[in-house]
Amino acid sequence: MENIKWTLNAMPKSDDRHLQIMSLDNVSTARAFHKSFPQYAVTPLARLDGMAARLGLGNLFVKDESYRFGLNAFKVLGGAFAMARYIAGEMGRDIGEMNYAYLTSAQFRRDFGQATFFTATDGNHGRGVAWAANKLGQKAVVHMPKGSAKMRFDNIAREGAKVTIEEMNYDDCVRLAAREAAQTEHGVVVQDTAWEGYEEIPAWIMQGYGSMAQEAVEQLRALEVNRPTHVFVQAGVGSLASAVVGFFANLFPSNPPKFVIMEAESAACLYKGACQGDGSPAIVTGDLPTIMAGLACGEPNTLGWDILRNHADAFLACPDWVSATGMRMLAAPLRGDPAVTSGESGAVGMGVVAALMTDPAYAGLKEALQLNRDSAVLLFSTEGDTDPEKYRRIVWGGEYPTV
């Protein structure tokens, strides 16, 4: 069995100018937009007291995004908010005016008309963009990398988007979407991957993700936990990770939690960048095979990378068994703990925490992070069973065992 690879963050700091993207005001603006949707509801925060006691932690909490807008994943938070910000900018209006009631009205269609939103996705982001475009009377074109699950394809197509599975990896699908958007009248690419000249929309997507972190803080405080001591968050391009880290760094500037960033081993561009140690990002190329389809991204979001190099404490590259273990643990909890249906890209945090707390191979990392019975750990289960057949093969059938 292949071990988790890890490195502590020893990179030099930058001027940290991108941290303001995730300011508390920016996140509250995104949250107000999300609250205007009739489908909006705060997703559950699962409190796993039995698991915490078994692993030797004080508290363990899992934010369960399988309930988000009926879409089984958190991604819609970013895509929908970015679309609204783009429309507001095109119309010269304030984002505060772009609520669900107006954006779905006949008046909006007369005022704005239609744009075409292009994106690349393994499934969850594309479904969120397609769903939002459908609700707002816009068009969506979605490209998926080779090997994408048919169920995820079908869910996107069901929202009325034009969707294809291409013979290329995720990062090449991003480039395809960007080329097509540039050639289309009223075309715009909605992607959380930032590059030179394309930073505004990824920043808005990150702010949209902040709603999830803000909800989690409110839920923790209702349980009399003022702040988590540790936040474990997974990363593909790093937009979610940097959004969560950026929000908590702004919320607790003098005493932030310890932040642990987890990637699929085959696509661990952030981990490799941290290993380089000079602060420059790294790129991973090729097919990026992993069950963690949502994390199979080899080129980091440059905005997010800057936040992570300044604030993350550790970077981990995780073999697939880590996520599979987490899926099974969350699906079959200890007596008294709620079950969480967590997909391949959602459960890696549970697998990592279990490994760190029980396997002597990771004693050095556990000690460096000061994980112990005083720790209050927060995880994000970013998706449910978005590929139900794969989910059952892993949870019921025992695929990717630890022995």
Kindly give the interhelix angle for 348-358 and 320-331, rounded to the nearest 10 degrees: 100
Q: Which amino acid is at 301?
A: N
Among 63, 64, 75, 192, which one carries the catalytic annotation? 75
Catalytic site includes residue 122: yes
Residue indicated by tokens 């932040």: 259
Among 49, 63, 64, 122, which one carries the catalytic annotation? 122
Catalytic site includes residue 390: no
Cα angle 350-354-356, degrees, rounded to a multiple of 5: 120
Longest dimension (CA), the chain: 63
Q: What whole-number distance in Å separates Cα of residue 194 and Cα of residue 184? A: 20
Strands 139-144 and 116-120: parallel
225 in Cβ contact with 372 (< 8 Å): no
Cβ-based burial of 31 (10 A; exposed 0-12, middle 13-18, buried ≥19): buried
Q: What whole-number distance in Å separates Cα of residue 225 and Cα of residue 354? A: 22
| Six token digits for residue 73 | 């994943």
30 in Cβ contact with 211 (< 8 Å): yes
- The residues annotated with a catalytic role in the active site are 75, 122
